[in-house]
């Protein structure tokens, strides 16, 4: 099978990792890289033995697919160039800076029958992957995503930088339309929001409480899912998930399950069990890039499509607008 020709656009921290991962995927060939910072591009070119293009147009002439890892404000401009030239696009999250830009990219990709995948990498975190055999029907979700300050990413609000990871996962788990959103947040060390909290209510009654901060003393990336007869805890740093469930007393337990006894009386009596799904050794970035390549080769929909990226961005923008609205009320 002929290898898919791919180019990496943007060779900063993430772009460099993209080059490294693509070089390990046998179904594709890294034709070249481009970055408007020539020195950075030269260093990556030499380290991974890939061709550096000093002109973006020349790279686009040589490739079938692109991986875009530039600043968020440049996502739309470069992705549009690729899609209009018939090039499949993998683009880091958030999909774009604005809803109108994202809608245009989705429209072009659909019209030109091209794959547009958004890099919501936490969808491929081992903690999430390990739950694929469990039925997830959340009634309430609590997420906390705290990071130490890093100037990289401060060109956008923390909602678009960090919180959007959890927004995307929540939207993929709760199969219902958003009904109402309340949010608060503040800018502390940058010109954009650095801390934010949002409460998202869904039409089916489910609720998600989401917190993100990029000025924390230590990293924390956890999600807690509460549903009928089950509590699930996910740690995105360790990749470990833990499940507490109530099961009928006559149900045969898996050998990996641990029973904590029974609760209730009569017909309502149930057994409380604890399970820790097997931790799968997965490189989340490599896995999502592999799936992107395979979706093109086998003509399937990307796992995280442009439409998914657009949905997450719409919720993120509502959260940002709600925060700005509340800040204006406070000032007045």
DSSP one-letter string for 174-235: S-S-EEEEEEEEE-SSSSS--EEEEEEEETTS-EEEEEEESS-SS-EEEEEEEETTEEEEEE
Tens-digit pLDDT profile for residues 295-322: 999 999 999 999 999 999 999 999 999 9
Give the distance from CA 167 to its chain's centroid: 8
271 vs 32, 137, 230, CA distance in Å? 57, 20, 12
Give the percent of the chain with pLDDT over 90: 78
Q: CA quadruple 160, 44, 23, 61: dihedral positive or negative?
A: positive
Tens-digit pLDDT profile for residues 247-279: 877 666 666 677 776 776 666 778 888 999 988
Structure tokens at 50: 């890939």
Instruction: Using CB atoms within 10 Å of the CB of residue 265, give its burial: 0 to 12 exposed, 13 to 18 middle, 19+ buried.
Output: exposed
Superfamily of domain 124-279+317-325 in the CATH hierarchy:
Dihydrodipicolinate Reductase; domain 2 (3.30.360.10)
Structure tokens at 180: 């109402």
- Across 48-65, average pLDDT: 97
At 150 the pLDDT is 75
Annotated domain spans of the chain: 4-121+284-305, 124-279+317-325
Pick the CATH number of 4-121+284-305 from 3.90.1150.10, 3.40.50.720, 3.30.70.270, 3.40.50.11720: 3.40.50.720
Q: Do the Cβ atoms of 222 and 234 come closer than 8 Å?
A: yes
Q: Which DSSP category does 69 fall into?
A: -
At 169 the pLDDT is 98
Residue 155 has pLDDT above 70, yes or no: no
44 torsion bin: left (phi>0), alpha (psi -120 to 50), beta (else): alpha
**Is the whole model's pTM more than 0.85, yes or no?**
yes
At 187 the pLDDT is 85
Question: b or e along 98-111 (b: 16 or more beta carbons within 10 Å of the residue's beta carbon)?
Answer: eeebbbbbbebbee
Tens-digit pLDDT profile for residues 69-105: 999 999 999 999 999 999 999 999 999 999 999 999 9
Nearest by Cα to 15 from 58, 67, 50: 67
Residue 243 CB neighbours (<10 A): 19
At 261 the pLDDT is 66
């Amino acid at each position: 099978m002929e290898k898919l020709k791919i180019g990496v656009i943007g060779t900063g921290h993430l772009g460099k990792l993209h080059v490294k991962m693509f070089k390990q995927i046998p179904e594709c060939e890294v034709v070249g890289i481009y970055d408007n910072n020539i020195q950075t591009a030269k260093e990556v070119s030499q380290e991974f033995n890939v061709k550096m293009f000093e002109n973006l147009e020349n790279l686009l002439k040589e490739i079938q697919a692109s991986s875009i890892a530039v600043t968020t404000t440049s996502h739309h401009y470069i992705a549009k160039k690729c899609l209009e030239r018939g090039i499949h696009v993998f683009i880091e999250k958030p999909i774009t800076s604005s809803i109108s830009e994202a809608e245009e990219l989705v429209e072009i990709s659909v019209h030109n029958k091209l794959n547009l995948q958004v890099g919501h990498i936490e969808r491929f975190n081992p903690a999430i992957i390990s739950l694929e055999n469990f039925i997830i029907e959340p009634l309430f979700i609590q997420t906390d995503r705290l990071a130490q300050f890093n100037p990289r990413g401060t060109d956008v609000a923390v909602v678009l930088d960090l919180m959007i990871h959890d927004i995307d996962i929540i939207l993929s788990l709760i199969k219902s339309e958003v009904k109402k959103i309340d949010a608060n947040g503040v800018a502390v060390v940058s010109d954009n929001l650095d801390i934010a909290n949002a409460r998202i209510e869904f039409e089916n009654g489910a609720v998600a409480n989401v917190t993100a901060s990029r000025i924390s003393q230590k990293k924390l990336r956890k999600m807690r899912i509460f549903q009928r007869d089950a509590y699930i805890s996910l740690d995105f740093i360790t990749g470990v998930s833990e499940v507490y469930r109530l099961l009928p007393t006559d149900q045969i337990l898996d050998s990996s399950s641990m029973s904590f006894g029974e609760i209730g009386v009569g017909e309502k009596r149930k057994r409380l069990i604890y399970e820790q799904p097997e931790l799968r050794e997965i490189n989340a970035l490599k896995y999502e890039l592999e799936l992107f390549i395979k979706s093109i080769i086998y003509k399937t929909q990307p796992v995280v499509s442009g439409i998914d990226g657009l949905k997450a961005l719409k919720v993120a923008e509502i959260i940002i607008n709600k925060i700005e609205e509340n800040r204006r009320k406070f000032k007045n």
